[in-house]
Chain A
Amino acid sequence: AQSVTQLGSHVSVSEGALVLLRCNYSSSVPPYLFWYVQYPNQGLQLLLKYTSAATLVKGINGFEAEFKKSETSFHLTKPSAHMSDAAEYFCAVSGSSGYALNFGKGTSLLVTP
């Protein structure tokens, strides 16, 4: 079965610092991988996705992620954090049914002034 593990349920960074949110996946087939963001009282919004094209994927709001098969990782990064980046971030992998996604537990990002 396809699954993801997000390391760290809470991450705190200073404004302007590097953001690194970790995600490792397990998949018996070539995975499709995703990062979603959820702001308070809202649904999930797609940040970026990997679907077997370029291993370095650029998304919205300055985020990017790199697919590393050897490490089974898909970590999310942003060079400089903004206050507006404070939110819950979810890593997801396409599930065994093909089109449903399996989500990690989420990482809450706090950005301090």
Chain B
Amino acid sequence: ETGVTQTPRHLVMGMTNKKSLKCEQHLGHNAMYWYKQSAKKPLELMFVYNFKEQTENNSVPSRFSPECPNSSHLFLHLHTLQPEDSALYLCASSQDRGSGRAIGGELFFGEGSRLTVL
């Protein structure tokens, strides 16, 4: 496996279900991100983890709960979601050089998990 892998690629869930999205990066990076991509809206940054510590939470509802057990894995736990939460959830990683800016600045993205909430 190379790059950033996300599972599942597609998920359909009811509003009362509990599910999780998984992200794994094989690039040796130390920062990981969750972005939400909805139709006709810009990519929304949800969470940032740097050295396994959550460094940013962009006012995301508590029905989304991130978990970063180590620098290679990132989860997004989903509980009692709403239909408007249907979107493509993108995971990304980067190498933070410690000065607050990623080396080269770029993020490496997975292919996303397409979530549909019924």
B104 at the interface (CB under 8 A from A): yes
Look across to chain A and name the residue whose beta carbon is closest to the beta carbon of B96. A99
Q: How far is the CB of A41 from chain B (nearest CB, A)?
A: 8
Interface size class of B (residues with CB under 8 A): 20 to 34
Q: Would you call A100 and B48 a contact (CB within 8 A)?
A: yes
Tally of A interface residues using CB under 8 Å: 24
Give which listed residue, A51, A101, A105, contacts B107 with CB less than 8 A: A101
Report chain B residues within 8 Å CB of A102: 45
Return chain B residues, CB-CB under 8 Å to A104: 42
B48 lies within 8 A of A46 (CB):
no
Residue of chain A at shortest CB distance from B45: A100
What is the predominant secondary structure among interface residues of chain B facing chain A? strand
Flag if B109 contacts A94 (CB, 8 Å). Answer: no
Q: In the complex, which of the residues A43, A45, A94, A106 contacts B105, with contact meaning CB atoms closer than 8 Å?
A: A94
Contacts of B102 in A (CB 8 A): 94, 98-99
Contact call A99/B31, Cβ cutoff below 8 A? yes
A44:B105 contact, CB within 8 angstroms: no
Dominant secondary structure at the A interface? loop
Report A30 CB to chain B, min CB distance, Å: 10
Chain A residues lying within 8 Å of B109, measured Cβ to Cβ, are 36, 43-45
Contact B106 A46 (CB under 8 A): yes
Most buried by A among B6, B105, B110: B105
Q: Which of B1-20 contact A (CB under 8 A)?
A: 4, 6
Docked CA distance A55–B5 (Å) = 33
Question: When the two chains form their complex, are residues A99 and B45 in contact, meaning their CB atoms are under 8 A apart?
Answer: no
Of the candidates A42, A43, A99, the one whose C-beta lies within 8 Å of that of B48 is A99
* Residues of chain B at the chain A interface (Cβ within 8 Å): 4, 6, 31, 33, 40-43, 45, 48, 50, 55-56, 90, 92, 94, 96, 99-102, 104-112, 114
